[in-house]
Structure 1
């Protein structure tokens, strides 16, 4: 609404003989209970007018109505000047939307950005927490691509360490050569099964050692299983062929399992990094930091950085025996990723339990003088709970991603059939619809909330065709496509139209906000902006659908206009939902 800002600047100069900047004018969307579309906040302008907010608003409103042809009228409520726009202006705005190919998709901005997400461990299958991570990372990447970035989707796989050796050792001891083929289990589920078995057997040994007189801490260190797992890790790091062979075989099972889950979720990656390749990286950076005086060495030969002046603490960056800690590896991997892609920004999608870790990592890289460190950002997100409580994967009570996906599809099947929304569909169409609705419900529920917030996921609440849900938006899209199919019109001519209804005005304004919603969502790295916009747009369309006849209206231009409004609304709902990784059905 640049013309309103310019008009207001002219009004202030003409009425009060004062020049202001554009940033001094505060425009808002008019609240629904008041007449108008655009509101000017007049409180800040009273220092110039030397009059009350109401009088200031009336004077500026009269000036704008007299001098701006697109202003149809105004009203003043306390310190708020509410402006009504002409029908011709709004129809012109809508024509502008129709005329632009790829409306809302921004041109390339010349910037490259990496979004790293998923980051699974290869000792267990993906669970509900991973689902939020994957959906968040994928959606942020899609939104950034729509806003003009060249996006690289990356996955850093944690495929080494003591936890991986626990699954390997348990399979060696208790597996009887079981394979995914012989067991009929997905490979990641099979390996996860042995991680749980290790934990159970380890606890038995701890209890036995405690009964023999050892303290809990002594028993944890001395249990034969944990000692064997540590020995296996040492052999792995020394390149023992037998251990490496076992590791490659079991990791292969897991990757095949992950791929199936990723495909079900509809997420993908452009680049994989593996900790087995990157865990030794960072040693050169340690030498660089010591030479620059950023790090210091203690008497036990360990290397540290003192961050107390930055409000943090001293942080170990290399053990005294020369082995890496996590942050050593993360420094090296960050350098590797930058060397590979030379990106302007790098987003890490990782849970909020790692907030401190990333604060330290980014600060260290800045102190090392890495020019790209300023472009690093931790997209921190909260835990996902189910009504039954918090998940603990190592105890075997994990909410498995594959099981949850199947449960969502089954619930969608049951709800959709109960409501009779599948009449006339072939069996294959029905199954595709159930999958679409089940996954849409899951994804929307997790993405409509700001990432930082912890949330309680209720599968039953998420599949509701009337609530603030994915299925409601999906059903609205199917409803619009049904209207358009019945109309069977390919061109929408409404050249002579010069008046529109209040509901049509609302819908045009909502459609016009689409580009700014994408921009805001990209800036905040928050799919919630897009998700909630799609819901509000669907609600508005349903209001329009119930208030304004579309197919039965006699005036051809009005009918064509309403069909065109429907067509554009369906397209923007589809684009918005696609950025969330959600498909929308053509019919239900």
Structure 2
């Protein structure tokens, strides 16, 4: 209803002899308790009219009704001008815009954006926290694609460091040459098993040393296991052939395991970066910063940056012995990624425990004069809690991603079979349906919440076929597909003469019309949550329509039936397209 802005500008010029910018005209949806579809907030205009909000609204309303064919009535509530729009306008919008094949499709905006997500460690399988990260990163990528960006999805794998050596050392000591093939375990699960074993044995050594009189800190440093792991890391960095061979073999197991999990989650990547290839990057950047005076060197030879004037701390960027710290690597990797892809923007999908780190990283890059640093953004997200508490990787008490996926599919199977609506499905069709419902429930539950918010994941609640859930939306889509099939639907344009749409049909048209702007809103916020909730509102509204109007299939063929079938088909299309952006498949039958 952008035409209202232009017409209101004309009204102000005619009534008050002053031109105003579009930004002055604030239009909202009319609240349901008042008559109308569009509401102008009049308060800013009173500065021009020099009249009360009520009088200003009345004068503008009278002008619009008298001069704009598509505005039929108005009413004033304090400083709000509620406008009633002609039914013909909405039918025309539905026919010409909403039913168009390119509705909701944005052309290329010529910009490239990188989305980095997942970033797993190769010492353990993916868990529930990783699931939120992967689903968020994938969905944001699809959202930005839908908004016209050229998107590059990347995964920076943390495949080196002391934590990796812990798993390697434990397997070397207690593994008895176990392999994924000999145990039947996925490779990432096998390696994760030895990470847990290392921690248990390490704790035993710590307790033994404490019993001999050492403090906890002393015992942690002096335990033989941790010293062996540190020695293994040094040998890895020195290129020891045996250590590198073991590292390659065990990482290979993990990558094979990750590939299965990624496939089951329905996420993918265009490019993998590996910390083993990037951990030495950034030293050149440090030298560059020293030469320009951005960094300074302390007496012990360590290199720092002073960010106290920016409200932060002094930050170490290179140790006294010349070795990198984490941010050194990130400085170099950021530059390498930009050189590789020359993107306009780069989004890091990382948990909120790293908020400070990214604030420092981006600020340093700006101070180094990197013109592309302004396009860096940390998409910070909250932790995922469970009804029974937090997760701890070292103790083996995490919610494993593979087990979670399997559990969701099992629950979907049980819930669906309770409804008894899959009797005519083949076994293969049933299994595909259960997978779609289970994963749809998981994805929707995690994505409908704003990323920054911490959330409590409740599997039972997520898979309910009623309420704000993935299965409810999937079921609505399947219901529409069934209706269209029974009606032997064939597309035909709505008759230009057709009129008499019901209130709920008008509500659906209004909500469908918002789909392109909902994509824009969600993309600009790098948050699928608003889109997810929009899709739910559309599904809920269609179910209201389904129960309020006479059965479409039984309606006599004609303009009214064709209109309702077209309305149903477009609703299904938008539900399907929106859910695909969330990474969710909408079944044809349920």
Q: Give TM-score, length-normalised by structure 2.
A: 0.98
User: Is residue 187 from structure 1 mapped to residue 155 from structure 2 by the alignment?
Assistant: no
Q: Find the counterpart in structure 2 of residue 584 from structure 1.
A: 586
Query: 3-state SS of the aligned residue for 1:466?
Result: coil
Moved more, 99-108 or 120-129: 99-108
* Matches of 1:553 and 1:47, distance apart in 2: 54
State the shift of 1:12 in Å. 1.5
| Superposed counterparts of 1:258-277, under 5 Å | 258-277=258-277
| Superposed counterparts of 1:340-355, under 5 Å | 340-355=340-355
Q: Find the counterpart in structure 2 of residue 150 from structure 1.
A: 150
Q: Find the counterpart in structure 1 of residue 224 from structure 2.
A: 224
Q: Find the counterpart in structure 1 of residue 575 from structure 2.
A: 573
State the shift of 1:99 in Å. 5.0
Query: 3-state SS of the aligned residue for 2:394?
Result: helix
* Matches of 1:291 and 1:101, distance apart in 2: 57
Q: Find the counterpart in structure 1 of residue 62 from structure 2.
A: 62
Task: State the Cα deviation string for residues 7-40 of structure 1 (Å, max 9, x = none).
Answer: 1111112222222111101100111222211110
Structure 1 residue runs of 5 or longer lacking an equivalent are none
Q: Find the counterpart in structure 2 of residue 560 from structure 1.
A: 562
Query: 3-state SS of the aligned residue for 1:28?
Result: strand
State the shift of 1:555 in Å. 5.6
| Superposed counterparts of 1:91-490, under 5 Å | 91-490=91-490
Alpha carbons of 1:583 and 1:497: their partners in 2 closer, same or farther (altered >3 Å)? same
Alpha carbons of 1:99 and 1:504: their partners in 2 closer, same or farther (altered >3 Å)? closer
User: Is residue 517 from structure 1 mapped to residue 518 from structure 2 by the alignment?
Assistant: yes
* Matches of 1:79 and 1:388, distance apart in 2: 50
Contact 2:300 2:320 in 1 (8 A): yes
Q: Give TM-score, length-normalised by structure 1.
A: 0.99
Task: State the Cα deviation string for residues 438-495 of structure 1 (Å, max 9, x = none).
Answer: 0000000000000000000000000111111000000000000001000102123421
Contact 2:477 2:586 in 1 (8 A): yes
State the shift of 1:203 in Å. 0.2
Moved more, 39-48 or 369-378: 39-48
Task: State the Cα deviation string for residues 345-395 of structure 1 (Å, max 9, x = none).
Answer: 000000000000000000000000111100000000000001011111111
Contact 1:54 1:78 in 2 (8 A): yes
* Matches of 1:488 and 1:99, distance apart in 2: 19
* Matches of 1:273 and 1:314, distance apart in 2: 29
Alpha carbons of 1:493 and 1:104: their partners in 2 closer, same or farther (altered >3 Å)? closer
The alignment covers a number of residue pairs equal to: 588
Query: 3-state SS of the aligned residue for 1:393?
Result: coil
Query: 3-state SS of the aligned residue for 1:395?
Result: coil
Contact 2:95 2:493 in 1 (8 A): no
Query: 3-state SS of the aligned residue for 1:39?
Result: strand
* Matches of 1:6 and 1:245, distance apart in 2: 70
State the shift of 1:62 in Å. 1.3
Contact 1:492 1:563 in 2 (8 A): no
Q: Find the counterpart in structure 2 of residue 10 from structure 1.
A: 10
Moved more, 44-53 or 409-418: 44-53
Contact 1:493 1:557 in 2 (8 A): no
Query: 3-state SS of the aligned residue for 1:584?
Result: coil
* Matches of 1:384 and 1:266, distance apart in 2: 20
Task: State the Cα deviation string for residues 223-254 of structure 1 (Å, max 9, x = none).
Answer: 00000000000000000000000000000000
Contact 1:88 1:499 in 2 (8 A): no
Q: Find the counterpart in structure 2 of residue 538 from structure 1.
A: 539
* Matches of 2:91 and 2:285, distance apart in 1: 60
Task: State the Cα deviation string for residues 186-243 of structure 1 (Å, max 9, x = none).
Answer: 0000000000000000000000000000000000000000000000000000000000
Query: 3-state SS of the aligned residue for 1:75?
Result: strand
Moved more, 378-387 or 71-80: 71-80
Alpha carbons of 1:553 and 1:78: their partners in 2 closer, same or farther (altered >3 Å)? farther
Contact 2:494 2:562 in 1 (8 A): yes
Contact 1:289 1:295 in 2 (8 A): yes
Task: State the Cα deviation string for residues 61-110 of structure 1 (Å, max 9, x = none).
Answer: 11111111111222222221111111111011111235532311110111
User: Is residue 71 from structure 1 mapped to residue 50 from structure 2 by the alignment?
Assistant: no
Q: Find the counterpart in structure 1 of residue 83 from structure 2.
A: 83
Task: Give the CA RMSD over aligned residues.
Answer: 1.0
User: Is residue 503 from structure 1 mapped to residue 518 from structure 2 by the alignment?
Assistant: no
* Matches of 2:98 and 2:149, distance apart in 1: 24
Moved more, 263-272 or 415-424: 415-424
Structure 2 residue runs of 5 or longer lacking an equivalent are none
* Matches of 1:422 and 1:72, distance apart in 2: 50
* Matches of 2:273 and 2:116, distance apart in 1: 10
State the shift of 1:124 in Å. 0.3
